[in-house]
A and B are shown apart, each in its own frame.
Chain A
Amino acid sequence: MTVQTPNGFTLDNSGKRIVVDPVTRIEGHMRVEVNVDEQNVIRNAVSTGTMWRGIEVILRGRDPRDAWAFTERICGVCTGTHALTSVRAVEDALQIRIPENANSIRNIMQLTLQVHDHIVHFYHLHALDWVDVVSALSADPKATSALAQSLSPWPLSSPGYFRDLQGRLKKFVESGQLGPFKNGYWGSKAYRLPPEANLMAVAHYLEALDFQKEIVKIHTIFGGKNPHPNWLVGGVPCPINVDGIGGVGAINMERLNYVTEIIDRSIEFTNQVYLPDVAAIGSFYKDWLYGGGLSSQSVLAYGDIPEHANDYSAANLALPQGAIINGNLAEVFPVNLRDPLEIQEFVAHSWYKYPDETKGLHPWDGVTDPHYELGPNAKGTKTNIESLDEGAKYSWIKSPRWKGHAMEVGPLARWIVGYAQNKPEFKEPVDKLLKDLGLPTSALFSTLGRTAARALECQWAADKLKHFQDKLIATIKAGDSSTANVDKWEPKSWPSEVKGVGFTEAPRGALAHWIKIKDGRIDNYQAVVPTTWNGSPRDPNGNIGAFEASLMNTPMADPTQPLEILRTLHSFDPCLACSTHVMSPDGQEMAKVTVR
């Protein structure tokens, strides 16, 4: 049967149904089902969040100053970004102003996450969609060296280096214990890199694995550990003492030097390894421009990285804010997270109940009542699903919409908004990369574009790290060492009823938390996260979400091997634990809740 969606896609579920569950190399649990036609082209896509944790209901009644720690555990991959969003929401509600140094340190931590997350995503969650590990065995190490040296001055590029690595890989494969590479899609026609590029990419997979653990030490210095560093409402927990008694127990010169050194190495790795790899891999796939989905029509960014403390207006944010709809890049709309009519969540196709499911609800007024059921056309049973019925409820993810539009969020959305706003720091690197690859601007709206935007953003973030490290040092030099404002630390100083919203740009996209505080306790907490936007099921009007849209019309080399599906889904860097925990104020009426 063929259906036309309001957002411009023609869905046809008559062809063969393919199920991928679990979708791996993501955070959390996800399932996808597609229908392919006789040419093995995807004509219908159904994406399902397959986990739910209910963290917001757990937050109700707790101390708002503790909320960052709970919400940080929404996701350990984008670790810290939920905590930052949470402290911002509490500070917004209580009108707490943070010191300039706290703003710089928070930005450094957030940018560190961007750099780390993007590198780990590309090499460890995404690269195997483009890179054939087994093909690397037939590479010529000398030619690999020549290739690597033609792309970058990165020193680990000698023929001997690649020969040794190839030897190690060969023996690993021959051992018969393939570990994480077991049952991969090696040899598939969907892989297009020559053996030498594959070998180089495998080398960088391992180098990135070694290097990523260095980047996060910035979190460890300011936040005590990673994953899940510590944060503080009113500032940051780490004091600064560069020249006094006991300075060795605080952020001092040694600590600052440590951070600077890691920033320099991150810039180097991004410029000399990550970006050249993405450009090189892109050059072999530049006619595989599928996966654009919603990116050419509807994208959303909240913005982030405030230059000055306490000002969250678009003009003060280094990452752009705005919404683009109907593919009109000439007009970027402002976004207001407080407006009840802008952001709304729907549950017509989600495993929750609303009194009226034709309507959406703003997060401050949300309702969440879990209601698991399969539609009449589903196959299997409630605890043994063979295939889902997308005409009914089919996901633990809600459907957020901006003024009724399904939106894509993430690095590509941010860069499209920045590009449309003609900001040189976003426009110039995009134009340069496209020119180097000989591609038109429209090529940006693709799986490859999403992957490239993430790499460009990593470079941008690494440079911005330097900026805020310099700013932190300059502020200390000017005599200001303060890191926390404790004027409103005590709950007795708070008004009896307040509400607030905090937002960030998580590595995966726009993230916001809405909080209501009553008598010193959390009365309501809501998070709408990037993968809720991207992974949303259909809404009551039939608009499909970004994941589903991106899979449409993609040809598969072999429908028994979901390589193209994985490639495109991974380009979003899905985070399912993030997207599927939403709970709300009036969701108490939960028949199945068991109090432990």
Chain B
Amino acid sequence: MSATETFYEVIRRQGVTRRSFTKFCSLTAASMGLGATGASNVAHALETNPRVPVIWMHGLECTCCSESFIRSAHPLVKDVVLSMISLDYDDTLMAAAGHQAEAILAETKEKYKGKYILAVEGNPPLNEGGMFCIDGGRPFVERLKWMAQDAAAVIAWGACASWGCVQAAKPNPTQAVPIDKVITDKPIIKVPGCPPIAEVMTGVVTFITTFGRLPELDRQGRPQMFYSQRIHDKCYRRPHFDAGQFVEQWDDQNAREGKCLYKMGCRGPTTYNACSTVRWNNGVSFPIQSGHGCIGCSEDGFWDNGPFYERLSNIHQFGVESNADRIGVAAAATVGVAVAAHAAITALSRVAVKRDDKAPPAVK
């Protein structure tokens, strides 16, 4: 059997029916918001593309990205690993260790030159000659750059690889840096979050293996399909925000009625992520639904934008219902203005975020 077998051939030989395959394609397409034509594209791609070798490296991190990845419900991570990609190196899951593990890196570089995906969880520290993170007796940063040289593309998993995350919070004692500071000549897809949502992670991987190209990225390098709107834009508690109905204290009556958490420090209004739509762990909930504000974990530098329970000071809120009482017949117009104003604020805050990809979101 050749190594360039297609995904479709593999799963057919593994006993998956054509019918199940089609259903899988539809679900995958639906999870990415691609609709019916998307499903046929998914099917076509999986029928004709080989399994892509993936090298998953770990720097300074906590392994929450790997843990999130294995939570994927659609597709199941079992199917991703057995049938969709070839996860040839992943410190967390691989059988081999030591020399046998290291040999895989060298082999992949040579055999799949320019054809493998490098997925990076965590980031390299630069202080102490890089020896705050040692891999095979050498600085992790060296090995990372070495594997990046021959990769087709690089995925930056999570806040660590994308922005630096907790070890890069002030004063960043190890000088941990996001991977785009040391890999400068390859396309890098940033999939931020601490961790990213499981189905967003598998969605990004599937997109690449399915369409044979990288997803559309925003100016910060994030897939725009998952990261182009704020949690606030799609939050089911948004009507309470607009109506001025807020939780004032933990476990108060408004908390028990599921009102807006903005006054408790919620970062939903400044955080670009899919939590309020895809939700977590196969759609069971997301932080706001379970009573705690968003801490903004997919945003650059979010650790230094705290304290987390301090309310965002420059978010305007419209009080649609209180205005309706006051303004009466003008309410309809007010809503119209509110919508326009809201769109403008969204646009402004996006511009502010884009102004400098190292600056914290323009909220404080």
Q: Are B3 and A177 in contact (CB under 8 A)?
A: yes
Shortest beta-carbon distance, B159 to chain A, in Å? 9
Shortest beta-carbon distance, B174 to chain A, in Å? 6
Shortest beta-carbon distance, A259 to chain B, in Å? 11
| Contact string against A for B residues 68-79, beta-carbon threshold 8 Å, 1 for contact and 0 otherwise | 101111001110
| A-chain residues with CB within 8 Å of residue B99 when the two chains form the complex | 560
B17 contacts the other chain (CB 8 A): no
Q: Are A593 and B171 in contact (CB under 8 A)?
A: yes
Q: Are A224 and B291 in contact (CB under 8 A)?
A: yes
| Contact string against B for A residues 49-69, beta-carbon threshold 8 Å, 1 for contact and 0 otherwise | 011111101100011011001
Shortest beta-carbon distance, A524 to chain B, in Å? 15
B215-265 interface with A by 8 A CB criterion = 237, 249-251, 255-259
Q: Are A168 and B97 in contact (CB under 8 A)?
A: no
Per the CB 8 Å criterion, the residue count for chain A at the interface is 116
| A-chain residues with CB within 8 Å of residue B61 when the two chains form the complex | 28, 76, 577
Shortest beta-carbon distance, A109 to chain B, in Å? 11
A32-76 interface with B by 8 A CB criterion = 50-55, 57-58, 62-63, 65-66, 69-70, 73-76
* Assembled-state Cα–Cα distance A410/B51 (Å): 40
Interface majority SS (helix, strand, loop, mixed), chain A: loop
Q: Are A595 and B290 in contact (CB under 8 A)?
A: no
| B-chain residues with CB within 8 Å of residue A54 when the two chains form the complex | 167, 173-174
| B-chain residues with CB within 8 Å of residue A287 when the two chains form the complex | none
* Assembled-state Cα–Cα distance A213/B73 (Å): 8
The answer to whether A50 and B256 touch (CB under 8 A), given A29-B58, A174-B1, is: no
| Interface size bracket, B side | 35 or more
The answer to whether A23 and B97 touch (CB under 8 A), given A52-B132, A171-B14, A221-B285, is: yes
B112-137 interface with A by 8 A CB criterion = 125, 127-137
| A-chain residues with CB within 8 Å of residue B100 when the two chains form the complex | 183-185, 561
Q: Are A484 and B251 in contact (CB under 8 A)?
A: yes
The answer to whether A180 and B251 touch (CB under 8 A), given A24-B97, A223-B292, is: no
| A-chain residues with CB within 8 Å of residue B58 when the two chains form the complex | 28-29
Shortest beta-carbon distance, A342 to chain B, in Å? 28
* Assembled-state Cα–Cα distance A128/B256 (Å): 47
Q: Could you say which of A1-9, A240-248, A325-333, A538-546 contacts chain B?
A: A240-248
- Known pairs A28-B58, A221-B284, A227-B71. 10 more at Cβ < 8 A? A51-B133, A58-B166, A63-B308, A210-B78, A213-B72, A217-B281, A217-B284, A240-B256, A370-B132, A595-B171
A-B contacts, 8 of them at CB < 8 A, read A53-B167, A66-B308, A76-B65, A133-B95, A184-B94, A213-B70, A384-B138, A577-B63
Chain A residues near B (Cβ < 8 Å): 19-29, 31, 50-55, 57-58, 62-63, 65-66, 69-70, 73-77, 79, 120, 124-125, 128, 133, 164, 167-168, 171-172, 174-185, 206, 209-210, 212-213, 216-217, 219-230, 232, 234-235, 237-241, 244-250, 258, 370, 372, 380, 382-386, 396, 481-484, 486, 489, 560-562, 566, 577, 583, 590, 592-596
